[in-house]
Each structure stands twice: as C-alpha cells, then as structure tokens.
Amino acid sequence: MSALFTPMTLRGVTFRNRIFVSPMCQYSSREGMPTDWHLVHLGSRAVGGAGLVMVEATAVSPEGRISPDDSGIWDDRHAEGFAPVTRFIAEQGAVPGIQLAHAGRKASTDLPWRGGLPLGPESRGWQPVAPSPLPFAPGHPVPRELSAAELDDVVRQFREGAGRALAAGFRVVEIHMAHGYLLHEFLSPLSNRRTDEYGGSLENRLRFPLRVARAVREAWPAELPLFVRISATDWVEGGWDPGQSVVLARHLKEAGVDLVDCSAGFLTPDAVIPFGPGYQTPFAAAIRREAGIATGAVGFITQPAQAEQIVATGLADAVLLAREMLRDPYWPLHAARVLGADLAWPVQYERAKLP
C-alpha cells in the first residue's frame, strides 16, 4: 500500500491521504472577501483528490494583508463569504483549512504581476508595522514599531480570526510564522532588535509567536488540529536557523500545535537559497525527529515517487504541494494511478478514470 495514500488522523480529523494543498496567495479578494475565483480554485483541488485544501495567507487585520487584494478574516462577513468554499471542499472529501497571517513589514505591496513594489496611502496602501523599525529592503518603507499594547491587539486579532475560521467551516487552522512576515520577524534576530521582553535572547524572541499560538489554540476546538508554518532557516549567517527551529517546534508542541509545516527563507531579499527538488525536506525530517512532532515537507515536490519516498521513509508525515497543484489540480488522482493506490474519483469524472 502507498504510504502517501494512507489516511492520517490528527485529533478528531482524518485526512484521506497525505497530499496537502499548500496555501498560495491568489490576490483576488475584494476588501478581504473571497470571490468566485476562490471557490473554483480551491474547489478544483478538492475535486482533484487532495487530503487537505488550505486557503492562502488570510489576514487577521486590514493592515496585516500583503496586498490590498489579499483575503481576510477580520470581519464576520469574511466567515460568511468563506462558508460556501469550505462546504464545497468538504463535500468532495477533502478537509478545508485556512492559514491565519499578518504580513508585518512586508505588507502594503502591489500585485506580483505588477512588480510587487510597496504601495503608499495614495495607492490603496498603508504604513506597515513590525517588531522593529527596519525596512524589508532598500526602497521599502520603514515600518512602525509595534507597542506592547498593539501586540495585545494582534494576539486578539489572531484569536478572533480562529473563531471566525471555525464559524466559516474550516477544520484546520495554520498560523503563518514563516517567509519574513510578522511572526517570523519576531523570531529572527535580523529583523527583531527590540530591547523589551520580546527581543534579544531566543527565549524573548519566541515569546510573542508563542503567545499567538497559545491564543489560537485556546480559541480553536480541542478536537481540531492546529498547524504552524515556519521558515526553518533564514539562509543568512546570524539569522534564524534549524537549531532554533527545533527549539521553537518543541515549544509549539507544548502549546498544543499538532503539525509543523517546514518551509524556509524570505526574511531578507539577499538570502542565497539553494533551490532544488526537496531542498527543504531535511528540515521537516530533523524537526520531526528532534522535537517529536508531526511535520509537513514543502518545496519543489513534484513527482509521485518523490512524495511517496518522503512519507514512506519518515522524513515527514505529509507533503504540501504548491506550484505543482497550480499546474495540475488533479495531481493526487494522477499520482494514485502511478503509485497503484485506489483513490476514488468524483462520480462525475469516473468515466475518464483509467485502469
């Protein structure tokens, strides 16, 4: 039997297989609201046989968006808007998930296909916020340093976002602590120069992200799993690194997190990242082994045999596919045939199923 197509249970949720759709920004929302694009985009991946379909980085506040066209979860209207999406995903046999996010100093940027440059207030933008007043890159605005009271507000926003995610019908929440966004900015000494209880030592830099994790866990039902995405390394000397990631993962496990989604990089624009097939999988393997927590591997996973090997050999408990799912929404159906697994096709498509 294929390990990739073996069901996986976390808390009270069973995933039909270990193929998860990674959260991918679509830049197609209006005032944070999902649109028909989201229903079709996410729904087609559920039809395609994935075990988990995760909504893109979804901002817990308006200023937490990467762009003005990101999805949001800061208003009850957003929960209502996502309800048809989660319902359709679940009807196809997949688990609906959502990634809760705050972009921090990387907020208020234009769409990637328009260059992704910073936007000012005159162009639907706003001033970003961060742990410290350090811009992401030359030409980017200096973010405003968050006060202790504002940090309390951010914790509340994540907690309330989890509550709205539940009301919308999601069964998995993932907290975004990766890719140079706000919570990653607190973790890395390259972006966190605070002198209060949230900066300096590793213990202090962990403090705020762990506050968020605990708050979300308290708001999220005990029978539903909680994920966290991390950047396991900044790929920069003196930055966040795999050893610190293991320490973080141990604390996340104690806080009630069920799976660490292991990505890497994107805190700084000058990092030299060794892109290649499965290049981040060793981080998932190390964290799984050394922190004793389930992990997901992500990054340049494209072939069925590659995904099977990752799960079968215990390098990770699941694989998260991003670009490959954009190329082929039905990748799990095709992978099942390659690996000799019996994955049910939608009855509407069965006449096209090959033996």
| Residues with active-site annotation | 181
What's the CA gap between 286 and 26, in Å, rounded?
31
Residue 129 three-state SS: strand
Burial degree of 220 (CB within 10 A; 0-12, 13-18, 19+)? buried
What's the CA gap between 43 and 288, in Å, rounded?
30
Residue with tokens 């009630």: 256
What's the CA gap between 188 and 134, in Å, rounded?
12
Q: For residue 103, which of 66, 139, 155, 131 has the smallest C-alpha distance?
A: 66
Query: DSSP assignment of 304-353, as one string?
Result: HHHHHHHHHTTS-SEEEESHHHHH-TTHHHHHHHHHT--PPPPGGGGGG-
The greatest distance separating any two alpha carbons of the chain, rounded to the nearest whole angstrom, comes to: 64
What's the CA gap between 113 and 280, in Å, rounded?
26
Main-chain dihedrals φ then ψ at residue 137, nearest 5 degrees: -160, 160
Give the helix/strand (H/E) hosting 246: helix 242-254
What's the CA gap between 187 and 238, in Å, rounded?
12
Q: How many helices (H) and strands (E) does the chain have?
A: 10, 12
Contacts of 91 (CB under 8 A, 6+ apart): none
- Please work out, in degrees rounded to the nearest 5, the angle formed at the alpha carbon of residue 290 by the alpha carbons of 286 and 293: 90
What's the CA gap between 228 and 176, in Å, rounded?
6
CA dihedral 12, 248, 208, 160 (to 10 degrees): -10
Residue with tokens 């961060």: 130
